[in-house]
C-alpha cells in the first residue's frame, strides 16, 4: 500500500459471493477510516509486488504461498458459514453433483464419466477431488473426460445441461464449493430441479482472508480486528447473510494443515494433473 492509492483488496473467489467481499471492503474502509477498493485478482504475485494489500483466496494457493521463503502473505481470518452442517467452524464442503437424470448414485459410479473442475488452483474443485481418488487408489484414468470450466457457476450449468445437450456443453459431474452451490441454487432455483448431490467431500478449512506480509503489523492487526467485529454489526449482518456468512473468526497457518496434507499426498504420488 502506498499513500497515493487506496487499500487494495483482491478477490480470487466465486463471483456469486462477491456481494460479501464488497461488504467486507466497505466495512474495512469505514472502520479503518481509509479508502478501500475491491478488485478481481489475476495473479497471486500481486501480494509480493505491492499491487494487492489483502485478499480473498482459496486454501490451496494459500498453502503454496505460505511455502515460499519468505511467504508473501499471512492469514487474518476466515468465514464461518450459517448452517448446521458447518458446526460453527470455519469449514466448507465440496458437494459432488450430477444431473437429476443421471444413473450415477455414488462417486465410484463416475468411473469413465466426464468431470468438470473450476480451476486447478481450487481446493474445492480440484485438490480435494484428487485426494478422494487417492483414497480410492485411483491416481490416473478414472474419469473419461476432464473439462476445466473456469469457475464453479459454469461447472454447475455444464452438469445441469443434461444428456440432451451437445457433448462440449455438458458434463456428468463436478465437485462444487458448498457455499457457492447453495447461493447459486437459491438465486437460480430452476437449477435445483436439474441436479442431485451424490457425495460430499470434506469438510475442509474454508478460504482465508489474507494480508500481504509486507504491510505494517499495526495495519494487519487492524484488518483482523475489523473482520472479527463485522459479524456483530447489525448494519452489515444482512450483507454477510447474502453469502451465507455468519461471521469471521481468527485462523492461523496451521489451520490449513488439512489442505497442506492433501496436496502433499498428491505430490508424493505424482498425481498433480486430474485426468
Digit-by-digit pLDDT tens for the chain (275 residues) are 555 789 999 999 999 999 999 999 999 999 999 999 999 999 999 999 999 999 999 999 999 999 999 999 999 999 999 999 999 999 999 999 999 999 999 999 999 999 999 999 999 999 999 999 999 999 989 999 999 999 999 999 999 997 667 777 899 999 999 999 999 999 999 999 999 999 999 999 999 999 999 999 999 999 999 999 999 999 999 999 999 999 999 999 999 999 999 999 999 999 999 87
pTM (two decimals): 0.95
* Cell 449482518 sits on residue: 237
Which residues have C-beta within 8 Å of that of residue 17, sequence separation ≥ 6?
179, 180, 183, 243
pLDDT of residue 252: 97
Intra-chain end-to-end CA distance of the chain, in Å = 41
pLDDT of residue 167: 72
Which residues make beta-bridge pairs with 177?
A: 94
Which residues have C-beta within 8 Å of that of residue 217, sequence separation ≥ 6?
none
Q: In what order do the strands lie in the sheet with 173-177?
A: 145-148, 114-117, 173-177, 91-99, 195-205
Q: Are 256 and 71 in contact (CB under 8 A)?
A: no
Which residues have C-beta within 8 Å of that of residue 167, sequence separation ≥ 6?
114
Amino acid at each position: 500500500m502506498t499513500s497515493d492509492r487506496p487499500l487494495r483488496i483482491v478477490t480470487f473467489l466465486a463471483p456469486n459471493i462477491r456481494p460479501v467481499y464488497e461488504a467486507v471492503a466497505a466495512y474495512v474502509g469505514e472502520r479503518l477510516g481509509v479508502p478501500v477498493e475491491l478488485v478481481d485478482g489475476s495473479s497471486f504475485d500481486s501480494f509480493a509486488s505491492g499491487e494487492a494489500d489483502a485478499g480473498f483466496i482459496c486454501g490451496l494457493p494459500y498453502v503454496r504461498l505460505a511455502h515460499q521463503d519468505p511467504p508473501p502473505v499471512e492469514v487474518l481470518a476466515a468465514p464461518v458459514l450459517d448452517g448446521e452442517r458447518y458446526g460453527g467452524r470455519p469449514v466448507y464442503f465440496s458437494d459432488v453433483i450430477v444431473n437429476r437424470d443421471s444413473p450415477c448414485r455414488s462417486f465410484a459410479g463416475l468411473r469413465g464419466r466426464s468431470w468438470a473442475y473450476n480451476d486447478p488452483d481450487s481446493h474445492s474443485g480440484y485438490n480435494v477431488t484428487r485426494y478422494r481418488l487417492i483414497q480410492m487408489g485411483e491416481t490416473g484414468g478414472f474419469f473419461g473426460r476432464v473439462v476445466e470450466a473456469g469457475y464453479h457457476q459454469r461447472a454447475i450449468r455444464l452438469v445441469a445441461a443434461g444428456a440432451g445437450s451437445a457433448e462440449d456443453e455438458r458434463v456428468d459431474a463436478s465437485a462444487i464449493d458448498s457455499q457457492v452451490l447453495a447461493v447459486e441454487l437459491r438465486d437460480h432455483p430452476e437449477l435445483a430441479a436439474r441436479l442431485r448431490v451424490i457425495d460430499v467431500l470434506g469438510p475442509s478449512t474454508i478460504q482465508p482472508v489474507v494480508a500481504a506480509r509486507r504491510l505494517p503489523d499495526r495495519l494487519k492487526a487492524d484488518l483482523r480486528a475489523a473482520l472479527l467485529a463485522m459479524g456483530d454489526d447489525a448494519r452489515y449482518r444482512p450483507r454477510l447473510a447474502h453469502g451465507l456468512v455468519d461471521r469471521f473468526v481468527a485462523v492461523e497457518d496451521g489451520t490449513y494443515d488439512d489442505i497442506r496434507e492433501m496436496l502433499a499426498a498428491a505430490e508424493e504420488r505424482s498425481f498433480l494433473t486430474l485426468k
